[in-house]
Amino acid sequence: MQIFHNEQHHLHRGRHEMYRGRLVPCHEVPDRLEHVLAELKRRPVGPVMAPPEPADLDAVLAQIHSPRYLHFIEHAWDEWVALDPAHAELDALPSVWPGRAFRTDVLPHNFAARMGLFSFDAGTPLTAGSWPAARGGAACAVTAARAVAAATRAASAASAAAGSQPASAFVLTRPPGHHAGPDFFGGYCFLNNAALAAQVLRNAGLQRVAVLDVDYHHGNGTQSIFYERADVLTVSIHGDPLTEYPFFLGHADERGAGEGEGFNLNLPLPRGTGFAKWRAALRQGVAEVQAFGAQALVVALGVDTFEGDPISGFGLKSADYGQIGRDLAALGLPTVIVFEGGYAVAEVGVNVVNVLEGFSAGG
Ligand SMILES: [Zn+2]
21 within 8 A of 189, measured Cβ to Cβ: no
Residue 166: band (very low, low, confident or very high) from pLDDT cuts 50, 70, 90: very high
CA of 29 to the centre of ligand 1 (A): 13
296 phi, psi to nearest 5 deg: -155, 160
What's the pLDDT score for residue 58? Answer: 98
What's the pLDDT score for residue 158? Answer: 83
CA of 304 to the centre of ligand 1 (A): 6
In angstroms, the Cα distances linking 95 to 88, 120, 123, 130 are 18, 10, 10, 18
For residue 246, cis peptide bond before it (omega within 30 degrees of 0): yes
Q: Pairing state of beta strands 168-172 and 2-5?
A: parallel
| Separation between Cα atoms, residue 233 and residue 291, nearest integer Å | 11
The pLDDT of residue 160 is above 70: no
Question: Which residue, among 249, 265, 138, 123, has the nearest Cα to 194 in the 3D structure?
Answer: 138
335 within 8 A of 21, measured Cβ to Cβ: no
| Separation between Cα atoms, residue 250 and residue 273, nearest integer Å | 17
Mean pLDDT (the chain, rounded): 97
CA of 176 to the centre of ligand 1 (A): 9
Residue tagged active-site, from 5, 9, 178, 179: 179
Q: Is 179 a residue of the active site?
A: yes
171 within 8 A of 336, measured Cβ to Cβ: yes
pLDDT tens profile 14-64: 999 988 889 999 999 999 999 999 999 999 999 999 999 999 999 999 999
CA of 189 to the centre of ligand 1 (A): 10
CA of 219 to the centre of ligand 1 (A): 8
Question: Which residue, among 363, 360, 346, 354, has the nearest Cα to 35 in the 3D structure?
Answer: 346
344 within 8 A of 32, measured Cβ to Cβ: no
CB count within 10 Å of CB 7 equals 14
pLDDT tens profile 181-193: 999 999 999 999 9
Q: What's the residue count for the chain?
A: 363
pLDDT tens profile 86-137: 999 999 999 999 999 999 999 999 999 999 999 999 999 999 999 999 999 9
CA of 126 to the centre of ligand 1 (A): 18
pLDDT tens profile 229-246: 999 999 999 999 999 999
| Separation between Cα atoms, residue 156 and residue 133, nearest integer Å | 35
What's the pLDDT score for residue 363? Answer: 59
Instruction: Please state at what angle helix 345-361 crosses helix 320-329, rounded to 10 degrees.
Output: 40
Question: Which residue, among 335, 76, 349, has the nearest Cα to 206 in the 3D structure?
Answer: 335
CA of 228 to the centre of ligand 1 (A): 24
CA of 320 to the centre of ligand 1 (A): 17
